[in-house]
Amino acid sequence: METGKLVVLGSINADHILNIEHFPQPGETVIGKQYKVAFGGKGANQAVAAGRSGADIAFIACVGADDIGERIRKQLATDRIDTQPIEAITDSTTGVALIFVNGEGENVIGIDAGANAAVTPDYLARYQQKVVDADALLMQLESPLETVIAAAHLAKQHQTQVILNPAPARELPDELLAMIDMITPNETEAHRLTGIAVNNDDDAARAAQALHDKGIATVIITLGSRGVWLSENGRGKLVPGFKVKAVDTIAAGDTFNGALVTALLEGKMMADAVRFAHAAAAIAVTRPGAQPSVPWREEIDAFLQQQE
């Protein structure tokens, strides 16, 4: 299929996942079950979602000089990703995420950046041609902020669209927001960026407008099982997702982002691209873990056919 080129700049983590009935209170110990280590990291999850759903994609990232980093890099290559811009950093360990999943399938996450901290502006400069050659650049916030800003500047100079998934939540400088073409916060991230708590559609519309006012044309606020608030140049609407039984929501947002950008680069209209991304995310939440849960193109197409 004819498709534009995508470059993802972001994180790679080894996810240590423990299922527990409820999240522990301070001072409390809870006994978990089904401990496992899976490949994750918001950047890598989004790159995998793009690769498996059919994008022409390169991934700028770092792993540690350790066994798991090498295994992750090999796995990413089998997910149809150009892994040439992924280096193993001497004296660093691969990024780590410690994840609790509760009985409702919700999660809480703590992170050690490890080698992700080595994705500096100098590192980006070594692979800048990937950004120059791409039609779209997709980033998150598990990489150093100065690199995210440098990459956005580079993309803007070369007519590469800038898409930011602003996760995990933090405030961002106007300088960066002004360079973003499309932003995809969840409710928490939208609140942190705009100061507007997103509890209903009116709040979502106001938060989206606040982001338009910073210079962002397309705002997609993800609302969990309710779907997304899609706002283009100030005109917003709720686009519901598909109802499925969630096992865990790890990487649901990442899968949505990777699949969305893939569909847009294929030339799909926004409404169709959001539907495609909803389908990918719906499949992901029915499976445990981050990258192990991300569907392939055939699975997404089959899921969508079943809905017709």
Nearest distance from C-beta of residue 292 to ligand RIB, angstroms: 10
Please report whether residue 45 would count as binding ligand RIB according to CB under 6 A: yes
- Of 251, 238, 171, 160, give the one whose Cα is nearest residue 204: 238
Residue 174 token pair: 């106007």
Please report whether residue 162 would count as binding ligand RIB according to CB under 6 A: no
Please report whether residue 114 would count as binding ligand RIB according to CB under 6 A: no
- At 21, the amino acid letter reads E
101 or 179: whose CB is closer to ligand RIB? Answer: 101
7 or 281: whose CB is closer to ligand RIB? Answer: 281
- Of 226, 232, 170, 171, give the one whose Cα is nearest residue 201: 226
Please report whether residue 251 would count as binding ligand RIB according to CB under 6 A: yes
Using an 8 Å Cβ cutoff, are 49 and 10 in contact?
A: no
Using an 8 Å Cβ cutoff, are 276 and 267 in contact?
A: no
Please report whether residue 41 would count as binding ligand RIB according to CB under 6 A: yes
d(CA 262, CA 166): 18
Please report whether residue 101 would count as binding ligand RIB according to CB under 6 A: no
Catalytic annotation present for 254: yes
Span of 59-67, 69-77, 237-245, 248-256 interacting with ligand RIB by CB under 6 A? 248-256
Q: What dihedral do alpha carbons 12, 44, 169, 242 form, nearest 10°?
A: -150
Q: Which residues are catalytic?
A: 254
Binding stretches for ligand RIB (CB under 6 A): 11, 13, 15, 40-42, 45, 97, 109, 111, 142, 250-251, 254, 290
